[in-house]
């Protein structure tokens, strides 16, 4: 009580973290979990299952913002802020970083039910455990289960008739072999050969590669190339490439898709994981710690507003760059056009762009 008899009352406002459940612990899911936890939110990740990837500048800056630096896990610097990292190394680094946050990772989770229609979204696990949340994110990849709830009966992803074989071998082994030494280019140089028939029969997502199928595909090539194919060992893996029709929306209520669940990419511009990480950091930027639960649908609409045009642009030129060399009906990108597109892709910073949208929405 003051001397004048007037009581001073102070209101204390406390920020409440959002309860967020993420389905999937791939690159998109882990990136989102780390960033949202760092922001102060309570995050739970459900994951059912307990390559070389270009970490381009638009991705590097975002990883560094969540304390993940490519040079700390063997990234090879190609140019300024452009690293070449092994996909497994990046994923392992993200998992280690996750353990330094308050996020909880549940492995071996089979989801039996998802409800995004109730006041509070929830997922039910096979072990009869249920997670209720303020926000549900689907980072569960190509065959997303959350996608079926956001857009019921949407056509599933379809194979494009191409597969990617991958294996690793020491560069020095190639340089020291007289047959393959001329195949090795200068540092930072990528080599591509186009065969007449690049179709590989069979259905794969991530499986052991068939060395015979690989060898048959390059049977008509020079001895140096065939010798290179012969070096494939037990680590040979094969991925079948998929595409999907454009989704009419990525969000519904307080649920949203991130990464490959919203936009499968093929590896022709090295932007698939970068787009997933941009998704994760966009959502994080749009959901600061003072976000109210009732504001989430509007923030997800902003997320879709910033991300869909960006992904559509990059996806368009990814597909153009992957057009068959031997198909005269398809016009591939010229080197000049590729440089122009890269000049748009790489300097982009999703955190800054999403922050501007949030400030505009708040009237700042």
- Provide the residue-wise pLDDT of the chain in tens; the chain has 364 residues: 444 444 444 344 456 899 999 999 999 999 999 999 999 999 999 988 754 445 556 666 677 777 776 666 555 555 555 666 777 788 888 888 999 999 999 988 889 999 999 889 999 998 889 999 999 999 999 999 999 999 999 999 999 988 888 888 888 888 888 888 777 766 655 566 666 554 544 444 556 667 888 888 888 888 888 888 888 888 888 888 999 999 999 999 999 999 999 999 998 888 899 999 999 999 999 999 999 999 999 999 999 999 999 999 999 999 988 887 777 777 778 888 888 988 888 889 999 999 999 999 888 6
Residue 1 located in a structural domain: no
Q: What pLDDT shows up at residue 192?
A: 67
Query: Burial letters for 142-152: b for 16+ Cβ neighbours within 10 Å, e otherwise?
Result: eebbbbebbee
Position 84 scores a pLDDT of: 65
Element (H, E) at 274: helix 272-286
Are residues 180 and 145 part of one domain?
Answer: no
* pTM check: above 0.95: no
What are the DSSP E strand ranges found in 170-250? 207-208, 237-243
Structure tokens at 182: 């001329």
Clarify whether residues 261 and 214 are in a common domain: no
Residues 193 and 93 in one domain: no
Task: Write the CB contacts of 207 (distance below 8 Å, at least 6 apart in sequence).
Answer: 237, 238
pLDDT at 7: 43
Query: Do residues 142 and 134 lie in contact, with contact meaning Cβ atoms separated by under 8 Å?
Result: no
Asked if residue 349 is part of any domain, the answer here is: yes
| Token pair listed for 299 | 């923030």
In a domain, 172, yes or no: yes
Which of 72, 59, 24, 68 has the alpha carbon at shortest distance from 282?
Answer: 59
Number of domains in the chain: 2
Residue position matching structure tokens 């922001």: 39
Question: Is the domain of 24 the same as that of 144?
Answer: yes
Range of the structural domain that residue 149 is part of: 19-156+245-362
Choose one of 242, 267, 302: the last residue of a domain: 242
- Let me know whether 232 and 261 are in one domain: no
Residue 174 inside a domain? The answer is yes
Are 200 and 229 in a shared domain? Answer: yes
Non-local CB neighbours of 339 within 8 Å, separated by 6+ positions: none
Model pLDDT, residue 256: 98
Residue 13 maps to a domain: no
Closest CA to 24 of 258, 233, 315, 214: 258
Together in a domain, 144 and 262: yes
* Spatial CA neighbour of 354 closest among 256, 283, 253, 272: 283
Q: Are residues 271 and 205 in the same domain?
A: no
Q: Give CA angle at 22 (20, 28), nearest 5°.
A: 125
Does the residue 2 lie in any domain? no
Asked which of 220, 242, 264 is the last residue of a domain, the reply is: 242
- Is there a single domain that holds both residue 99 and residue 130? yes
Amino acid 76: pLDDT:
53
Are residues 294 and 270 part of one domain?
A: yes
Position 175 scores a pLDDT of 82
- Both structure tokens of 93: 């680094």
Is residue 344 domain-shared with residue 232, that is, in the same domain? no
Residue 57: per-residue pLDDT? 60
């Amino acid at each position: 009580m003051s001397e004048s008899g007037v009581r001073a009352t102070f209101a204390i406002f406390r920020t409440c973290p959002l309860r967020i459940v993420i389905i999937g612990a791939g690159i998109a899911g882990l990136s989102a979990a780390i960033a949202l936890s760092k922001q102060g939110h309570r995050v739970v990740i459900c994951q059912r299952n307990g390559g070389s990837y270009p970490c381009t500048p638009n991705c590097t800056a975002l990883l560094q913002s969540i304390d993940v630096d490519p040079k700390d896990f063997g990234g090879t610097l190609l140019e300024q802020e452009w690293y070449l990292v092994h996909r497994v190394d990046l994923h392992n680094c993200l998992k280690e970083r996750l353990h330094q946050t308050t996020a909880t990772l549940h492995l071996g989770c089979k989801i039996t039910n998802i409800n995004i229609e109730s006041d509070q979204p929830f997922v039910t696990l096979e072990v009869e455990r249920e997670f209720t949340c303020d926000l549900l994110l689907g980072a569960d990849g190509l065959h997303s289960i959350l996608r079926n709830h956001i857009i019921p009966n949407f056509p599933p992803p379809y194979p494009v008739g191409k597969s990617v074989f991958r294996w690793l071998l020491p560069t020095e082994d190639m340089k020291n072999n007289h047959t393959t030494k001329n195949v090795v280019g200068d540092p930072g140089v990528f080599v591509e050969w186009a065969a007449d028939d690049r179709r590989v029969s069979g259905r794969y997502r991530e499986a052991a590669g068939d060395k015979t199928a690989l060898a048959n595909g390059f049977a008509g090539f020079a001895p140096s190339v065939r010798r290179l194919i012969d070096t494939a060992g037990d680590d040979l893996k094969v991925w079948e490439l998929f595409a999907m029709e454009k989704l009419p929306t990525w969000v519904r209520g307080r649920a949203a898709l991130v990464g490959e669940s919203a936009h499968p990419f093929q590896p022709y511009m090295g932007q698939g994981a970068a787009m997933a990480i941009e998704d994760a950091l966009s959502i994080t930027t749009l959901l600061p710690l003072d976000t109210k639960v009732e504001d989430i649908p509007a923030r997800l609409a902003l997320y879709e507003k910033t991300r869909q045009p960006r992904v559509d642009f990059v996806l368009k030129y990814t597909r153009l760059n992957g057009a068959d060399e031997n198909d005269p009906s398809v016009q591939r990108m010229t080197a000049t056009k590729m440089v122009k597109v890269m000049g748009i892709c790489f300097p982009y910073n999703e955190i800054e762009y999403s922050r501007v949208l949030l400030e505009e929405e708040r009237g700042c």
